[in-house]
Amino acid sequence: MTPLPHRTRIVVLILAAMTLVAMPLVARADYPAFEATLTEPGGVIDLSAPHHLAVSSDEIKAWVERAATALTHFYGRYPVKHVSITVLPGGSDVNGAVEYDGRRIEIHVSGDTTHADLVADWMLTHEMFHLSQPELDDDYTWMSEGMADYLEPVARVRIRQITPERFWRDLVEGMPQGLPKPGDRGLDHTHTWGRTYWGGSLYWLIADIHVRQKTDNKKSVRDAARAVLDAGGDGSQDWNIDRLLDVYDSGVGVTVFKDLHNEMGGKPVMVDLDELWKSLGVIFDGQNITFNDAAPLANIRRGIIAPEK
C-alpha cells in the first residue's frame, strides 16, 4: 500500500478523531433508539426509531402496525418474511421514505410530528407496497410507483382506513397530473414526476377496471399482485417487465396488463378523465364527492372499494 501524503494523513487523522468524538454524541441524541419487533401474519418487522419525537413509542408502533395491516389484508399475509424499518429524525411530518431490496425501509419523522399526522400518513403503506414487487429496469419506474400509488389507497379504503369519498376525491383531483403533455413519448420513455407517479397510477386504475370488466367483477388488481408474490416476486428480486406482465395477467386469467402496456408504454395515450369518472358514477362538485348508482360502471366502482371479507 502506498503511504498517504503527509497532508492527507493529517486530514484522515483529524476526520478519525472527529468521528470518534462525534459518534457518541449522535448516538446519544437519537440512539439507542427504541426497538421493537412486530409480528404480522407471514412476516416480522424489526422497527427502530429515535426517542426524541413528539409522539410516543407506542404511537410509532401503532402507526407501523396500521400500515402493515393494510398490506396483510390486501395480500392475505405480509409480503416479505422479514423487513427492517428505521425511523430517522428530520424534515417535516412524515417524509423522505425509501425502500431497499425488499428488506429495508427508511422513513423520516420530524420532531414535531403529531399523532394525527401518523394516523393520516400514507407514505409508509406506499413503501411497504414496494416490498411486494420485483425491481425493474429504470424505464419502468412508472410501473413500480404506479403500483404503490394505486394499491396503497385501494388497500386502505377496503379496510376503511380512508373513506370511499376520500379515495375517489384523491384520484379525481390528482389524476390529471398523470396525463401526457405535448412531447410525451409514452410511459416507458417519459420520466417526469407526473407521468411516473400519477401516470403509473392511471395505468393501474384502468387495468383494475378492465380486469373487472372482463371477469364479471370477480378478479382485480389484487389477484394480479398476489400472483407475483406467490411466484416469489418480492422486492428482493430483479425481473424484466415481460415476466412481470405475464404473471400479473396469469393471476387474473385474462390479458390486460400486457395489452395495456402495449398501448400506453410506447406512445402518449390521452384518457378522458371526466368521461371515466362519469362512467364509474363518481361525481365531484369541487367540494364533495357523491355517487351515481345508475352509471354504467357503478358496480365496478363498488367492487374497487368493497370492504375486505
Cell 369518472: give the residue.
277
Query: By Cβ distance, which residue is nearest to Zn ion?
Result: 148
Please state, in angstroms and rounded to a whole number, the distance separating the CA atoms of residues 276 and 209: 10
The piece of 48-56, 108-116, 146-154, 226-234 that touches Zn ion (CB under 5 A) is 146-154
148 touches Zn ion (CB under 5 A): yes
**Minimum distance from CB of 154 to Zn ion (Å)?**
15
Place of cell 393494510: 70
Applying CB under 5 A, does 143 fall inside the site for Zn ion? no
Q: How far lies 60's CA from each of 38, 67, 70, 302, in Å? A: 12, 11, 16, 33
Return the number of the residue (145 or 188) whose C-beta is nearest Zn ion.
145
Which stretch in 26-34, 50-58, 142-150, 275-283 sits in contact with Zn ion by CB under 5 A?
142-150
In whole angstroms, what is the distance from residue 261 CA to residue 196 CA? 14
Q: Which amino acid is at 151?
A: L
# of chain residues touching Zn ion (CB under 5 A): 2
Question: How near is the Cβ of 84 to Zn ion at its closest, in Å?
Answer: 18
Considering the complex, state which of residue 144 and residue 161 has its C-beta at the smaller distance from Zn ion.
144
Strand partners, 35: 48
Residue 97 in the binding site for Zn ion (CB under 5 A): no
Count of residues making up the chain: 309
| Span near Zn ion by CB under 5 A; candidates 112-120, 140-148, 255-263, 285-293 | 140-148
> Under 8 Å CB-to-CB from 211, ≥6 apart: which residues?
219, 220, 221, 223, 224, 252, 254, 256
Part in contact with Zn ion (CB under 5 A); list of ranges 26-34, 147-155, 211-219, 273-281: 147-155
Residues that bind Zn ion in the complex, under the rule CB under 5 A: 145, 148
